[in-house]
């Protein structure tokens, strides 16, 4: 025998003793191994006779229908927003692909370091370089170090430490690029892109790099990752909408039976 609580939940009655009813509520369970959802009945609970009804209260059904309708509208609006964002990313990619830097390579004499107005360094674990300006009063020191193999002259380690009012920071430089002095941002971008043609970077490094520093290849890779993430999010939203629609159809069917 099935009955309903005042809040609209369905329960299966197993026993009645006087004014006491023992029943199990209809519950949604999740399979631990595969993550699938399925319906079943929970633990045995005790109710008073006046707490259960033969049919689901109409006002509860109406409230649930309204709530699910609101959720469906919200998910559809979210889906539209994501689709708009995907379109904008595609437009940004098309625009970025039209921009190219064609400056000649700049060769630096490192003896000019002490006279430099700016120092641009390429950390080994970052695509974007770090540029320090001598006019930055918080920046007051730079320590550089290099280890060279005597046998072949290869730079085995090339590192530096920056000294600031707010603390010290240490990195390893890309041993093939190291640092440059007094180069404009356009030249830093060109060198950065040349470096990407020679060095592979992880997806996470590419994702946290602003678009203007990326080569066309890595920019396309970034946009593809973003698109896949957005598509995955869209599919999840669609599944949620379909699930809510099934819930709504089921509730409407129950309401029509009355």
DSSP letter for each residue of 63-105: HHHHHHHHHHHHHHHHHHHHHHHHHHHHHHHHHHTT----PPP
Pick the closest to residue 4 from 52, 49, 46, 43 (CA basis): 52
- The DSSP secondary-structure symbol of 111 reads G
210 or 47: which carries more pLDDT confidence? 210
* Residue 35 banded pLDDT, cuts 50, 70, 90: low
The answer to whether position 6 is within a domain reads yes
The answer to whether position 47 is within a domain reads yes
pLDDT score at 105: 32
* Residue 177 banded pLDDT, cuts 50, 70, 90: confident
Asked if the model's pLDDT at residue 157 lies above 70, the reply is no
The answer to whether position 40 is within a domain reads yes
Pick the closest to residue 210 from 92, 131, 83 (CA basis): 92
The answer to whether position 9 is within a domain reads yes
pLDDT score at 209: 92
The answer to whether position 139 is within a domain reads no
How far, in Å, CA of 89 to CA of 104, rounded? 31
Asked if the model's pLDDT at residue 119 lies above 90, the reply is no
pLDDT score at 129: 92
* Residue 101 banded pLDDT, cuts 50, 70, 90: very low
**How many domains is the chain built from?**
1
Range of the domain at 21: 1-54
Asked if the model's pLDDT at residue 213 lies above 90, the reply is yes
For the ranges 64-68, 110-114, 173-177, 225-229, the one whose mean pLDDT is highest? 225-229
Window from 39-43, 85-89, 132-136, 155-159 with minimum mean pLDDT: 155-159
Window from 141-150, 195-204, 236-245 with minimum mean pLDDT: 141-150
Element (H, E) at 33: none
The answer to whether position 138 is within a domain reads no
How far, in Å, CA of 33 to CA of 102, rounded? 55
Assess contact for 222 and 208: CB atoms under 8 A.
no
pLDDT score at 81: 84
* Residue 58 banded pLDDT, cuts 50, 70, 90: low
Asked if the model's pLDDT at residue 48 lies above 50, the reply is yes
The answer to whether position 87 is within a domain reads no
Is 109 buried (19+), middle (13-18) or exposed (0-12) by CB count in 10 A?
exposed
pLDDT score at 110: 53
Pick the closest to residue 116 from 195, 186, 179, 188 (CA basis): 179
Chain centre to alpha carbon of residue 78: 16
The answer to whether position 17 is within a domain reads yes
**Where would I find the beta strands (DSSP E) of the chain?**
2-5, 10-17, 20-30, 37-48, 52-53, 118-121, 130-133, 139-148, 155-164, 167-172, 179-181
Q: What does the pLDDT look like over 104-118, one tens digit per residue?
A: 333 345 566 678 888
């Amino acid at each position: 025998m099935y009955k309903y609580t005042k809040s609209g939940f369905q329960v299966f009655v197993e026993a009645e003793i006087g004014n006491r009813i023992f029943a199990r509520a209809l519950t949604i369970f999740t399979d631990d191994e595969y993550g699938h959802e399925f319906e079943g009945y929970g633990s045995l609970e005790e109710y008073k006779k006046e707490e259960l009804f033969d049919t689901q209260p109409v006002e509860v059904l109406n409230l649930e229908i309204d709530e699910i309708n609101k959720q469906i509208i919200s998910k559809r609006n979210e889906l539209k927003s994501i689709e708009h964002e995907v379109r904008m990313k595609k437009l940004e990619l098309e625009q970025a692909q039209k921009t190219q830097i064609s400056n000649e390579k700049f060769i630096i004499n490192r003896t000019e370091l002490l006279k430099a107005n700016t120092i641009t360094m390429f950390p080994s674990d970052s695509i974007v370089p770090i540029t320090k300006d001598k006019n930055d009063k918080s920046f007051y020191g730079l320590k550089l170090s290099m280890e060279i193999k005597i046998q072949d002259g290869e730079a085995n380690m090339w590192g530096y430490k920056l000294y600031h009012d707010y603390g010290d920071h240490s990195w390893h430089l890309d041993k093939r690029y190291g640092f440059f002095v007094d180069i404009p941002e356009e030249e830093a971008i060109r060198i950065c892109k040349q470096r990407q043609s020679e060095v592979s970077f992880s997806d996470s490094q590419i994702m946290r790099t602003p678009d203007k520093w990326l080569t066309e290849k890595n920019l396309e890779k970034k946009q593809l990752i973003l698109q896949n993430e957005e598509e995955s999010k869209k599919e999840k939203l669609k599944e949620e909408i379909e699930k809510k629609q099934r819930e709504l159809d089921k509730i409407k069917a129950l309401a029509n039976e009355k």
